[in-house]
Chain A
Amino acid sequence: MRQAFLGLAGLIAIIAAFVLVRPDVLERLGEQPVLEGQVQHFAATRTLRATPDLAWRDIDGNDVRIVDFAGKVLLVNFWATWCAPCVRELPSMNRLQAKLAAEGLQVVAINVDTGGRYAAEPYVQRLALDRLSLYLDPRSAVSRAMGVSVMPTSFLIDRRGREIGRLEGGAEWDSDEAVALIRYYLRRAA
């Protein structure tokens, strides 16, 4: 009886110590990401999903993979010049990158035009996307592997390269609710 009591007390002590040292854990236990306004259609996966180990290209022709960004939270976006809602949200993604880069976010905008660099570059220049690198997936290999059917589609990837969720359709990515959603995932140490 006494042992059981001691055991219980020890357990409580350990938990209390843990909570004192890491109070944020308690905070986060009840927390849910807020999905409203611009990000209301964000669909979080039930369990974190591994992303395909496929490569896309940068403008110099080098292969780029999700694993190259390990340690950062990624917003991977697929866009095309023929897709008006895609082009419309690119400036807001540029601003988002400027805002949250220091907190560990990397926006990866991948263009799927069959015309590749020559189709996409004029838009990048016209829209002054100075914080985004131009990535190319001209045969839509990566987008198809990730299950993209609607344009645009954006994926949130955690620091270990696993898919947290996706948003089908365009959004103002530097709106308050979008920034809050991404910060929620940025704060969770992976």
Chain B
Amino acid sequence: MALVALVLAMIATVNTRAADAQGAGSWVDYGQGRVRLVSATAAAAGDRLLLGLHYVIAPGWEIYWRSPGEAGYPTTVDWTGSDNLRAGDLQWPLPRRFRLLGVETYGYKDEVVLPIHALVERQDQGVKVRGEARFLTCNEVCVPHTVNLALDLPAGHATLSPYATLLNRFQSRVPQSDTHLGLTLERAEIVVTPKGEWLRVAMRSDEPLRAPDVLVEGPREFVFSTPATRLTGDGRGAVVDVPVAASVLASTNVSLVGKPLTLTLVDGDRAREVATVPVPGAIDAAVDGSLLAMVLIALLGGLILNVMPCVLPVLAVKVLAVVDHAGNSRRATRIGFLASAGGIVATFLLLAAVLAGVRAAGVAIGWGFQFQQPLFIAAMALVITFFAATLLGWFEIRLPAALAGAVGRPTTDHRLGTSFLTGMFATILATPCSAPFVGTAVGFALSRGPWEIVAMFAAMGLGMAAPYIAVALVPRIVEWFPRPGRWMLVVRQVMAVALVATVVWLVSVLAVQVSTLAAVVLAVLLSATLLLLAWRHRAAAPRRRWLTLAAMSLAVVTIVAPAIHKAETALTIPDARWVAFDPGSIAGHVAEGRIVFVDVTADWCVTCKVNKELVLNRGAVAEILADARVVAMRADWTRPDERIARYLEGFRRFGIPFNAVYGRQAPGGIALPELLREDVVVAAIRQAGGAALAARQ
């Protein structure tokens, strides 16, 4: 009997310690769930222990992540009272998002284990784990708890406890920062819109993304709400826009720019922690306008293209041709001009298709990219040289009638084909001229889908074709011009001069693009071609053939030559007061109270030069830019540059000229219109916080 009692007593003793012996403390029921301590090993062996805080939470209730969001607080544990234990920090498995009463929070529901890595101070001795856990659990109401948890681990062998699997499952869900799991942060920037600030996070993944998300932890002055996510390109990239708002604790006008953040990049079960500091991004001001407004802007932009020095000659020549042959039937004139309009629109649509395709492939491309290719510059220069020669009457080789008409030979030929090609030619000449509004419209289009691109380019085409359509509708316009006479010759010569001037700056662009030597070679070749043509014009028939051949071969060489030569690595040295483009340093300058003026330009950009001559290098603006409190930054896009392309992309702009002003009151940057005006620039500087600078003007 006594023996039975003894045995039973022993069994009872063993059983009450059964839970502990197996590596888990007793459950503490706190009303909305229960919690206990667990260990991966049944005994303490060696110098390390993997422990865990194991919650089983009642349905509907949640506990909080280490950054709970707008309200709440996370679990904290006080380990004093433990013996032979040095506990590390709590680890946090990837939480879920919850919206509690309209407030965005991060936390856990149903079940979670918070792993703790601990050190055993004296090996080969048992460990007493005592933790006072303070945590908050909420449903529609909040209930704060402080519970005392206990777990005893005897010294022994490191056999796994039944809870090892559980612990490992949650340990593997803790986002790491050193293993990238195929997730990379491309950039984090602050985008300012009329509705407030957004944190725009661009991430890439090795495998296609399924459900990308970003959890943001930042200073307590900010709260982050539910983001909007969109996949990019081939599904391996995502852009996550997180709305940023000032929290209750913020003083006025704080910006997230330059503040350290911890981002957790998430895709399903993969999660990676990244520390970053966001840079200024874009102002999404009016670009979010309706499609209709943008179409109108595109139309206007296209119309203005006609006045650009590269395009005007084509229109002029066509009109002159009609004036010259006033005897043409109205119908013929109509058809001719309509066909040209068609050529313009068709070329724009072709451009749209190409750009849409390229964008869909995810390549960062902008308007004017073609001018970053030396081959294109050389070819363009050659074509314009021939055009000029034609206007001067030196080029009379009998090309197929269609081409002849296209390059502006005075001709009565208003057949469809000819006129159509004239339109195409005009458009090709127009591509490098980023007129006002064109850049905005293209930026809008390239940031949207293929249909918007088509719509915008069609609108631009119509705008540019407008004068041709006008003449087609009212052929009598032509009769307003004076009678044919010497003046036409003068106009042609003036146009030719304009074209030669165009060639000259194209050559200068090549000088920067490739090298001075290449530019000189091209200039020599082109001049030679021009002289040959002039000579040919005056020469007698037999020589002509020979000279024609010479001119043609020279033409081929001209195109090929610059491409062979390797580009020199050094780009132009900026003016003394302009520093090299460095978007990462903008935040630093702004924080130190300076104004930053960014000028994105290229040697092939005519409008940029106009801006410089009229505004940037003169008067009030020049004075401001020379001030020590202003950092004038120049980004040279003469050659392809991914960094500049992405910078422009951030402002939803894809062409140049582009200028932006940054300051204390505009850390995200104020984007300026393409055509600068002194008062606009000064006003923007004032708005960014440079009132003192602007006031002197």
| A and B associate in one complex | yes
Secondary structure class of chain B's binding surface, majority of residues: loop
Query: Are B141 and A152 interface neighbours, CB within 8 A?
Result: yes
The answer to whether B248 and A126 touch across the interface, beta carbons within 8 angstroms, is: yes
B304 CB-CB contact with A under 8 Å = no
B70 an interface residue at 8 Å Cβ cutoff? yes
Q: Contact: B71 with A83, CB < 8 Å?
A: yes
Residues on A with C-beta less than 8 A from B72 are 82-84
Per-position 1/0 for B102-130, Cβ under 8 A of A: 11010000000000000000000000000
B144 at the interface (CB under 8 A from A): yes
The reply to whether the CB of A18 lies closer than 8 angstroms to some CB of chain B is: no
B73 at the interface (CB under 8 A from A): yes
Q: Does A88 lie within 8 Å of B101, measured CB to CB?
A: yes
| B142 CB–A CB distance under 8 Å | yes
Check A86 for interface membership: any CB of B closer than 8 A: yes
Query: Is A71 an interface residue when CB atoms closer than 8 A count as contact?
Result: no
Assess the B248–A84 pair: CB atoms within 8 A: no
- Residues on B with C-beta less than 8 A from A169 are 140-141
Q: State A122–B136 Cα separation when bound (angstroms).
A: 22
- Closest CB-CB distance, B579 to chain A, in whole Å? 40
| B141: contacting residue among A87, A122, A123, A168, CB under 8 A | A168
Question: How many residues on chain B are close to A (CB under 8 Å)?
Answer: 20
Max count, chain B CB within 10 A of own CB: residue among A85, A151, A169: A85
Query: Taking CB as reference atom, which chain A residue is nearest B246?
Result: A126
| Binary contact readout A110-141 vs B (1 if CB under 8 angstroms, 0 otherwise) | 00000000000011001000000000000000
Instruction: Confirm or deny: A47 has a beta carbon within 8 angstroms of a beta carbon on chain B.
Output: no
Q: Which residues of A contact B144 (CB under 8 A)?
A: 80, 151
Task: Report the minimal beta-carbon distance from B132 to chain A, rounded to whole angstroms.
Answer: 15
Does B21 make an interface contact (CB < 8 A)?
no
B143 at the interface (CB under 8 A from A): yes
Inter-chain contact B248/A122, CB cutoff 8 Å: yes
**Closest chain B residue to A83 by CB distance?**
B142
Q: Nearest Cβ distance between residue A145 and chain B, in whole angstroms?
A: 16
Interchain CA distance A122-B102 in the complex, whole Å:
20
Q: Does B249 contact A (CB under 8 A)?
A: yes
Instruction: Judge whether A82 and B141 touch: CB under 8 Å.
Output: no
Q: Which of B285-329 contact A (CB under 8 A)?
A: none
CB pair B142 A85 closer than 8 Å: yes
A123 with B248: CB separation less than 8 A: yes
Chain A residue, CB-CB nearest to B136 = A82
Q: How far is the CA of A126 from the CA of B252 in the complex (A)?
A: 11
The answer to whether A149 touches B143 (Cβ under 8 A) is yes
B28 at the interface (CB under 8 A from A): no
CB-nearest residue of chain B to A119 = B249
Nearest residue (CB) in B for A140 is B144
Residues of B within 8 A of A126 (CB): 248
B71-101 CB contacts (< 8 Å) to partner A: 71-73, 100-101
* Residue in chain A with minimal CB distance to B72: A82
> What residues of chain A lie closer than 8 Å to B101, measured between beta carbons?
84-85, 88, 170
- Interchain CA distance A83-B141 in the complex, whole Å: 8
A84 to B69, CA, bound (A): 10
- In the complex, are the beta carbons of B71 and A82 less than 8 A apart? yes
A150 on interface, CB distance cutoff 8 Å: yes
Known: A122-B248, A122-B249. Contact between A87 and B71, CB under 8 A? yes
Indicate whether A84 sits within 8 Å of B249 (C-beta atoms), given known contacts A150-B141, A152-B141, A168-B141: no
Q: Which of B68, B70, B248 has the most CB of A within 10 A?
A: B248
A51 at interface, CB cutoff 8 A: no
CB distance from A9 to the nearest CB of B (A): 57
Interface residues of A in 14-72 (CB under 8 A from B): none
Knowing that A80-B142, A84-B70, A170-B101 touch, tell me 9 more A-B residue pairs with CB under 8 angstroms. A83-B138, A83-B142, A85-B138, A85-B142, A123-B248, A126-B248, A149-B31, A150-B142, A151-B144
For this complex, 22 residue pairs linking A to B, each with C-beta atoms less than 8 Å apart, are A81-B71, A82-B68, A82-B71, A82-B72, A82-B142, A83-B142, A84-B70, A84-B100, A84-B138, A84-B142, A85-B101, A85-B138, A85-B142, A88-B102, A126-B248, A150-B143, A151-B143, A152-B141, A168-B141, A169-B140, A170-B140, A170-B141
Would you list the 5 A-B pairs with minimal beta carbon distance, nearest first?
A: A84-B71, A151-B142, A83-B142, A126-B248, A169-B141
